[in-house]
Amino acid sequence: VRCQLSLPQRALQASAVLRRVSDEQKEPLSSSSQQQFDSHPTDQQPDKEPQGPRPSYTGQGGQESEDYESEEQLQHRILTAALEFVPEHGWTAEAIAEGAKTLGLSGAAAGMFHSDGSELILHFVSQCNAKLSELLEQEQKRVQLGEAEKKPTDQFLKDAVEARLRMLIPYIDKWPQAVSILLLPHNIPSSLNLLTSMIDEIWHYAGDQSTDFNWYTRRAVLTGIYNTTELVMMQDSSPDFEDTWRFLENRVADAMNMGNTANQVQSTGEAVVQGLMGAAVTVSNAETSSAVR
Amino acid sequence: AAAGLYPCRTLLAHRAGALRALCGSVRGLAVGPDTHFGFQTVTEAERREKIYQVFESVAKKYDIMNDSMTLGIHRVWKDILVHKMNPSPGTLLLDVAGGTGDIAFRFINYVRSVRERQLQRKLKHHQSLTWQEISESYQEDKSKSLGDSQVVVCDINKEMLKVGKQKAQYLGYSEGLSWVLGNAEELPFDDDKFDVYTIAFGIRNVTRIDLALEEAYRVLKPGGRFLCLEFSHVSNPLLSRLYDLYSFQVIPVLGEVIAGDWKSYQYLVESIRRFPPQEELKAMIEDAGFFKVDYQNINSGIVAIHSGFKL
C-alpha cells in the first residue's frame, strides 16, 4: 500500500482553501513529487477556475469529474497536515482535527477517520515506505551511473534499515503508542502488508534474485532484524541512537554468519555421516570375517 | 419532500380533500402542495401548524414520555450520537429541533471532560513549575472549562425552548449555551458558521426535508459534519412485527395515560412509518451536497444515525 502523494489539485470547497494550501505547501517529497506528478493519471491544469456552487453531476463515492479533488486525496492531505501535531497530541483524533484546521477545514472533519488514529499511523508508515523506496532507487541510479560503489549486502541492509528507522525519530516519543495501535486486530492486515512490502523492497534493491526457499528465509530474517531494532530504538537514550545502530550492525552480522554457519553445519553433518558409514562398514566387515573364520 | 398520496390507510382530511388533490400539484397557491401528517394527507401549511400544535401540547411531558416510551433507551441513543461526534474543545455545535436540550447538555458534558483530560496531560508534562505558573493554570481552569466550545439550540417551537431553558437552569448549565427560535427550513444563521449540525428526532417533523438539508449544508463550515439521529426502518421481520405491535398498541395508550394526549402520540408512531428508510435518507443527504455520507443502525434499525461531511 503505497500512498501516492500528488500536488493538491482542486479543493472541493471554495478556492479560498486551495489558495491557502498552495501557499503553505511544504511537501516532504518535493523532489519526488515531480516524478509522481508525471506518472499520476489525473493531471490538472494549474489555473483555478472560479468555484461556483458545486455542480450536481459530480457523483459520490470518488467518481468526481477530474477537475475536482477526490475525497481520498483530501483525506491524504488532512493526514499529512496532522503529522506535525503528533508530537503534542499523540496519534489521536485530536491531532487529525488540528491538521484539518490548518487546511482551513473545521475540526469536525476528523470524524471521517477512525477515532483511534489508525489511519494516521498507517498513512505515516506508507509515507515512510515511499520515502525509503525513493532513497533506494536514487542510490541504485547512482550506482548504475557509476557515481557510487555497489555496497556489500550487509552494509546495504544496515544502511537501508537505519535510513528507514531514522524517519521515526521526530515521533519517537509517541511511537510505542503507534505500534500498539498497529497491533490491534482490525489493523493487522494493513500493517502487516506495509511491513512485508517494505522488507520486500529492501531485498529487491539489495539485489536478491532468489526463487527458492531462500526468498522466505531472507525476508523472515530481515523482518526480525527490523522489528527488534525498532524495539531497541524505542527505549534507547544514547546520543543520536548510536546504541541502536550498533545493535543493528551486530544483528546484520549475525544474519550473514548464519548463512555461513548453515553451510558449515551441513558440511560437518555430511562428514559425520560419512564417518559413521565408514565405521559401520568396517564393523560389518570385521563381523563377517570373524563369522567366516 | 413527500407529496404523500398513499391510498392505503389514508384518512383524507375532512376539508375538501378532493378539491385540494386537483390543485395540490400547483405551487404558489394559498393551500400549498399536499404532504402527509402521520397517515393523513394534508397541505404543507396545515402540516406545519399541526406539528407545532403537537409539540406545544407535549412540551411539558416530553422528557417523561420519552423515558416511558423507550424505556429509557433514548438516553443511550443520544449518548451514542455524542460519542460518534467526538467533539474536541472549541467546537461550535448547532442543535436543530433541539427543544429540551438533551443533545446540548451531553455535548457540554463531553467537551468538559475532554478539556479536563487535556489540562491534566499538560500539567503532567510540566515537571517543575513555579508557584506562579501553578496558580495561573488553576485560573485558566475556571475560565475555560469548556475551551471555547459553544452550542446553539434552535427550535421552531416556543414551548419546547421554554422547557429546555428551565431544564438548563435546573441542571446548572449556563455557559456555552444559547437558545434560538428558528425554522430548520430557513435557519437564522450566516453561512459557514458551525462545526457540527445535529438534528435528533427532529427531521421527521420537518415538512420539507430537502430544504432543511440544504440549510444544514449552508450553515456548516467547510469540513463540518452533519449528524442526524432518527427513527428508521427495521429490516428484521420478527423484530419489525413486535415493534409495530408495541408502537401502535402501547405508545398511544401511554400517551393518553401519562400526557393525556392520544392523538399526538398516534401522530408520532405514524410519522415514524412515513419517514424515508435509511438508504433513501442517505441519498437525500448526498443530494444536498454532503460527502462521505454513511449511516449506522442502532438496535437493528429502530434508530439510525446518518453522518455526512461538507467537503
Q: Express each pLDDT in B246-259 by its tens digit.
A: 988 988 888 888 88
Q: Which residue of B has its CA nearest to A63?
A: B291
Instruction: Please tell me the distance in Å from B92's CA to the nearest CA on chain A.
Output: 9
Q: Is residue A52 part of a domain?
A: no
Task: Using an 8 Å CB-CB cutoff, list chain B residues near A103.
Answer: 223
Instruction: Please tell me the distance in Å from B222's CA to the nearest CA on chain A.
Output: 5
Task: Using an 8 Å CB-CB cutoff, list chain B residues near A110.
Answer: 86, 88
Residue A95 and residue A138 in one domain: no
What pLDDT sits at residue B42? 84
Task: Write the CB contacts of A112 (distance below 8 Å, at least 6 apart in sequence).
Answer: A75, A78, B292, B309
Q: Express each pLDDT in B38-48 by its tens digit.
A: 888 888 888 88
Q: Which residue of A has its CA nearest to B282?
A: A60
Q: Is residue B37 part of a domain?
A: no
Q: Is residue A42 part of a domain?
A: no
Task: Using an 8 Å CB-CB cutoff, list chain B residues near A85.
Answer: none
Other CB atoms closer than 10 Å to residue B3's CB: what's the count?
12
Q: Cβ(B209)–Cβ(B3) under 8 Å?
A: no
Residue A10 pLDDT > 60: no
Q: Which residue of A has its CA nearest to B226?
A: A108
Q: Is residue B17 part of a domain?
A: no
What pLDDT sits at residue A14? 39
- Per-residue confidence band for A11, with pLDDT thresholds at 50, 70 and 90: very low
Q: Is residue A153 part of a domain?
A: yes
Q: Which residue of B has its CA nearest to A111?
A: B85
Task: Write the CB contacts of A196 (distance below 8 Å, at least 6 apart in sequence).
Answer: A219, A223
Q: Which of the residues A72, A85, A101, A106 would you substitute to probe the B interface, choosing the one with the greatest number of B C-beta atoms within 10 Å?
A: A106
Residue A107 and residue A153 in one domain: no
Q: Express each pLDDT in A236-281 by its tens digit.
A: 889 999 999 999 999 999 888 877 787 888 888 888 998 999 999 9
Spatial distance between the Cα atoms of A232 and A203, rounded to a whole number of angstroms:
22
Q: What is the mean pLDDT of residues A75-96?
A: 91
Q: Is residue B38 part of a domain?
A: no
Q: Express each pLDDT in B80-98 by its tens digit.
A: 999 999 998 889 999 999 8
Residue B294 pLDDT > 90: yes
Residue A145 and residue A205 in one domain: yes
Task: Using an 8 Å CB-CB cutoff, list chain A residues near B95.
Answer: none
CATH number at residue B105: 3.40.50.150
Q: Is residue A208 part of a domain?
A: yes
Task: Using an 8 Å CB-CB cutoff, list chain A residues near B221.
Answer: 105-106, 108
Q: Express each pLDDT in B8-67 by its tens digit.
A: 444 444 444 444 444 444 444 445 688 888 888 888 888 888 888 888 888 888 888 888
- Which of A54, A87, A115 lies at the terminal end of a domain, its last residue? A115
Q: Is residue B2 part of a domain?
A: no
Q: Which of A94, A97, A112 lies nearest to residue B292, judging by beta carbons?
A: A112
Q: Is residue B146 part of a domain?
A: yes
Are B86 and A106 in contact (CB < 8 Å)? Answer: no
End-to-end CA gap in chain B: 24
Spatial distance between the Cα atoms of B250 and B256, rounded to a whole number of angstroms:
10
Residue A178 and residue A248 in one domain: yes
Residue A138 and residue A152 in one domain: yes
Residue A129 and residue A152 in one domain: yes
Among A52-61, A75-84, A91-100, B174-183, the minimum mean pLDDT is found in A52-61
Q: Which residue of A has its CA nearest to B309?
A: A109
Residue A36 pLDDT > 70: no
- Is the pTM above the cut of 0.80? no
Half-sphere exposure of A94 (CA within 13 A, CB side): 15
Residue A256 and residue A128 in one domain: yes
Residue A98 and residue A166 in one domain: no
Residue A223 and residue A102 in one domain: no
Residue A184 pLDDT > 90: yes
Residue A152 and residue A79 in one domain: no
Q: Express each pLDDT in A152-181 by its tens digit.
A: 888 999 999 999 999 999 999 999 999 999
Q: Which of the residues B92, B194, B291 would you substitute to probe the A interface, choosing the one with the greatest number of A C-beta atoms within 10 Å?
A: B291
Q: Which residues of A touch B (CB under 8 A)?
A: 12-14, 17, 54, 56, 60, 71, 74, 93-94, 97, 100, 103-112, 115
Residue % of chain B over a pLDDT of 90: 48
Residue B172 pLDDT > 50: yes
Are A60 and B310 in contact (CB < 8 Å)? Answer: no
Task: Using an 8 Å CB-CB cutoff, list chain B residues near A104.
Answer: 222-223
Residue A75 and residue A129 in one domain: no
Q: Which of B86, B222, B291 lies nearest to residue A106, judging by beta carbons?
A: B222
What pLDDT sits at residue B142? 55
Q: Which contacts of B60-64 are long-range, i.e. CB under 8 A and separated by 24 or more positions?
A: B60/B159, B60/B163, B61/B258, B61/B259, B61/B261, B62/B99, B62/B100, B62/B160, B62/B163, B63/B100, B63/B102, B63/B163, B63/B167, B64/B258, B64/B259
**HEC per residue, A182-228:** HCCCCCHHHHHHHHHHHHHHHHHHCCCCCCCCHHHHHHHHHHHHHHH
Please identify which residue in the block is written with the cell numbers 448549565.
B173
Q: Is residue A34 part of a domain?
A: no
Residue % of chain A over a pLDDT of 90: 46
Q: Is residue A2 part of a domain?
A: no
Q: Cβ(A60)–Cβ(B293) under 8 Å?
A: yes
Task: Using an 8 Å CB-CB cutoff, list chain A residues near B310.
Answer: 13
Q: Express each pLDDT in A96-136 by its tens digit.
A: 999 999 999 988 999 999 888 999 999 999 999 999 999 99
Q: Is B204 helix (H, G, I), strand (E, B) or coil?
A: helix
Q: Which of A74, A93, A97 lies nearest to residue B311, judging by beta carbons?
A: A74
**Range of A174's domain?**
120-262
**Range of B182's domain?**
44-310
**Structural domain count of chain A:** 2
Q: Which residue of B has its CA nearest to A103?
A: B223
Are A13 and B225 in contact (CB < 8 Å)? Answer: no
Counting beta carbons within 10 angstroms of the beta carbon of residue B305, is it exposed (0 to 12), middle (13 to 18) or buried (19 or more)?
buried
CA distances from A16 to A12, A143, B221 (A): 11, 45, 13
Are A108 and B223 in contact (CB < 8 Å)? Answer: yes
Are A111 and B195 in contact (CB < 8 Å)? Answer: no
Rounded to 5 degrees, φ, ψ at B92 are -105, 115
Instruction: Please tell me the distance in Å from A123's CA to the nearest CA on chain B.
Output: 19
Q: Express each pLDDT in B149-163 by its tens digit.
A: 899 999 999 999 999
Are A106 and B225 in contact (CB < 8 Å)? Answer: yes
Task: Using an 8 Å CB-CB cutoff, list chain B residues near A54.
Answer: 289
Residue A103 and residue A176 in one domain: no
Please identify which residue in the block is written with the cell numbers 522466505.
A216
What pLDDT sits at residue B252? 87
Averaged pLDDT of chain B: 84
Q: Which of A60, A94, A100 lies nearest to residue B223, judging by beta carbons?
A: A100
**Structural domain count of chain B:** 1
Q: Is residue A157 part of a domain?
A: yes
